[in-house]
Amino acid sequence: MTVLMKAPAKINLTLDVLYKRTDGYHEVEMVMTTIDLADRLELKPRDDGNIVVETSASFVPADERNLAYQAAKLMQERFGVAQGVSIAIEKHIPVAAGLAGGSSDAAATIKGLNQLWQLGLSTEEMAALGAEIGSDVSFCVYGGTALATGRGEQITPLPGPPPFWVVLAKPPIGVSTAHVYQHLDLSRVSERPRAKQMIQALSEQNFLLLVQSLGNVLETVTLQKYPVVKHLKQKMVEFGADGVLMSGSGPTVFALTQKESRAQRIYNGLKGFCHDVYMVRSTGA
């Protein structure tokens, strides 16, 4: 039996940091939604008990540093499974980009192995396992649209957004999530993201309110360190975006619009000076 899984990227529509916790993590409040940009995973059982990962991107580690490997190892040990698994990952989500590519691969592995090894786990149980791998993995187990609190692992599903186009641009820099959280100075944040207003926009299917409610406090760190990220946001507005924001810790920025022709214009404009540009639909409904 072979199990095929799709592992979609996420974007953060709001990201607020409430305070730094004593365990080193930050207490967050984020509204997240999935988009139609996804890695593909193929999972095949192995009788030798080994976990073997291969990826289409040579710079992504295929050993125990891979989050899909870690997910498989955790499940094998936790449930005493004798079988192993071969995991082939076709990467489409840019890496270290603020789009949770690795986390989504881990979540897809958990869901795929739940089928392959017939473990009968609920979504809540799989999300709790995911939280042991990384803060964003729980959301990726649920998918759709959700409020994430705690260190990001406590998930409350939300109504999906009205349909829109997302144009993403990733400048050629890698950003460390830990570094961005470490350098966040909340006293420098002038306007806090409005999660409640974002949730209202989702309930009302109100795209205008949704774009007015976009906000991410981590921009104060990444935009200052990498002016190119700010520049890309400005270009997106010039090309006609209805709303623009950095996703997660960055450096990917995204533009939202409901008009396909406008999304195409933003995409074409950005392609001129940024290599990694994507135009996809929202899928978080």
Ligand X SMILES: C[C@@](CO)(OP(=O)(O)O)[C@H](O)COP(=O)(O)OP(=O)(O)OC[C@H]1O[C@@H](n2ccc(N)nc2=O)[C@H](O)[C@@H]1O
DSSP 186: G
Q: Which does 25 bind (CB under 5 to 8 A by kind): ligand ADP, ligand X, none?
A: ligand X
**Which stretch in 95-103, 107-115, 156-164, 228-236 sits in contact with ligand X by CB under 6 A?**
95-103
| Contact residue for ligand X among 31, 100, 108, 241 (CB under 6 A) | 100
Does 109 contact ligand X by CB under 6 A?
A: no
Active site residue ranges: 10, 136
How many helices and strands, by DSSP H and E, does the chain display?
Answer: 10, 11
Binding mask 6-25 for ligand X (x = CB under 6 A): ------x--x--------xx
How is residue 65 written in tokens?
């540093």
Q: Which does 89 bind (CB under 5 to 8 A by kind): ligand X, ligand ADP, none?
A: ligand ADP
CB of residue 264 to ligand X, shortest distance in Å: 26
Residue type, 97: A
191-250 positions binding ligand X, by CB under 6 A = 248-249
Indicate the residue among 60 and 201 with the shorter CB distance to ligand ADP.
60
- As a whole number of angstroms, the distance between CA 201 and CA 213 comes to 8
In the complex, which residue's CB is closest to ligand ADP?
Answer: 102
Q: Which does 28 bind (CB under 5 to 8 A by kind): ligand X, ligand ADP, none?
A: ligand X
Strands (E), the chain: 3-20, 26-46, 51-55, 84-90, 145-149, 154-157, 165-170, 215-216, 243-246, 253-257, 276-281
SS3 state of residue 136: coil
DSSP 116: H
Contact residues for ligand ADP, defined by CB under 6 A: 60-61, 65-68, 89, 95-103, 105, 177, 248
Binding-site positions = 94-104
Q: Which does 152 bind (CB under 5 to 8 A by kind): ligand ADP, ligand X, none?
A: ligand X
Residue whose token pair is 């933003």: 266
40-59 positions binding ligand X, by CB under 6 A = none
Cα distances (Å, whole numbers) of residue 132 to 105, 185, 214: 14, 27, 29
How many other C-beta atoms are found inside a 10 Å radius of the C-beta of residue 95?
A: 14
Binding mask 52-91 for ligand X (x = CB under 6 A): ----------------------------------------
Contact status, residue 194 vs residue 213, Cβ threshold 8 Å: yes
SS3 state of residue 68: helix
CB of residue 40 to ligand ADP, shortest distance in Å: 12
